[in-house]
């Protein structure tokens, strides 16, 4: 029985993360409907896109009057980080066929973080990844459905301040990751670009350009890191 305790602990942690993320899903569902999407469109985003930061960014652009093209571009830009996560996950998971497609869909911040936290033992890392991914996928989509359907019973969801909740929720997703000065400089560059350009450009474009500015700063700081270490 003792041998199963670490596994139970991993699954317990995964479930706890899933429950917390599901609460965000309720907010997303309500915000998406308040932004003009219907329940099916909202649910499709969570089922197919399945990356919270990108989903919140997309509906924030739509809610502010931005075009669908700008909204999709912004969400895609933010979601590219998952591509880099897949590089780290590939030697740990070593999956093929259908499981490879599922792994690609479920490689997000939380599942990657859980797996990396147990990378000293490959079996534990795999269990951490899959249990976290499944818990979040199920509960995030359930939360989205509850929020989207619930928002339909409210005449005007914005009376509850949901227009401010979208950027607040997005900030809550990003803030815990600002753990070093390079990350903070990226955030400062992005924020400054968005604030400066917002009065002059149509809705959504400042966000897209702010993301590009953040990437540029991150690449510059990343290139200088080896020089600093020397």
Q: Give the Cα separation of 98 and 221 in Å (integer).
A: 38
CB 54 within 8 A of CB 79: yes
Rg from Cα positions in the chain = 19
Q: Is the pLDDT of residue 46 over 90?
A: yes
Q: Give the Cα separation of 184 and 206 in Å (integer).
A: 19
Q: Give the Cα separation of 108 and 50 in Å (integer).
A: 8
Considering only 105-109, 143-147, 161-165, 182-186, which range has the smallest mean pLDDT?
161-165
**Helix, strand, or coil here: 179?**
coil
**Nearest to residue 75, comparing CAs of 98, 93, 56?**
56
Phi/psi region, residue 65 (left: phi>0; alpha: psi -120 to 50; beta: rest), is left
Domain ranges of the chain: 2-177, 179-230
Q: Give the Cα separation of 23 and 21 in Å (integer).
A: 5
For residues 183 and 192, the model is more confident at: 192
Query: How much of the chain exceeds pLDDT 90, in percent?
Result: 20
Q: Is the pLDDT of residue 16 over 70?
A: yes
| Region 103-122 average pLDDT | 85
CB 145 within 8 A of CB 47: no
For residues 226 and 133, the model is more confident at: 133
pLDDT in tens, 115-160: 888 877 888 999 999 999 999 999 999 999 999 998 877 766 655 5
| CB contact set of 177 (below 8 Å; sequence gap of 6+) | 109, 183
Tokens representing residue 195 in the block: 């604030």
Confidence band, pLDDT 50/70/90 cuts, at residue 229: very low
């Amino acid at each position: 029985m003792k041998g199963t305790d670490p596994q139970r602990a991993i699954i317990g942690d995964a479930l706890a993360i899933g429950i917390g993320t599901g609460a965000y899903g309720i907010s997303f569902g309500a915000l998406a409907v308040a932004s003009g999407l219907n329940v099916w469109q909202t649910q499709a985003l969570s089922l197919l896109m399945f990356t919270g930061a990108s989903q919140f960014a997309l509906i924030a652009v739509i809610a502010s009057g931005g075009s669908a093209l700008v909204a999709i571009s912004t969400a895609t830009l933010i979601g590219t980080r998952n591509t880099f996560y897949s590089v780290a996950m590939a030697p740990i998971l070593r999956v093929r066929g259908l499981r490879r497609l599922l792994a690609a869909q479920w490689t997000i911040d939380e599942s990657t973080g859980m797996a990396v936290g147990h990378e000293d033992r490959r079996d534990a890392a795999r269990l951490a990844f899959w249990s976290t991914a499944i818990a979040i996928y199920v509960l995030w989509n359930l939360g989205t459905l509850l929020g989207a359907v619930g928002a339909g019973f409210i005449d005007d969801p914005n009376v509850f301040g949901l227009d401010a909740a979208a950027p607040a929720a997005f900030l809550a997703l990003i803030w815990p990751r600002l753990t070093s000065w390079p990350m903070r400089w990226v955030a400062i560059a992005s924020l400054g670009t968005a604030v400066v350009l917002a009065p002059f450009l149509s809705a959504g474009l400042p966000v897209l350009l702010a993301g590009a500015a953040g990437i540029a700063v991150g690449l510059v700081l990343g290139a200088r890191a080896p020089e600093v270490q020397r």
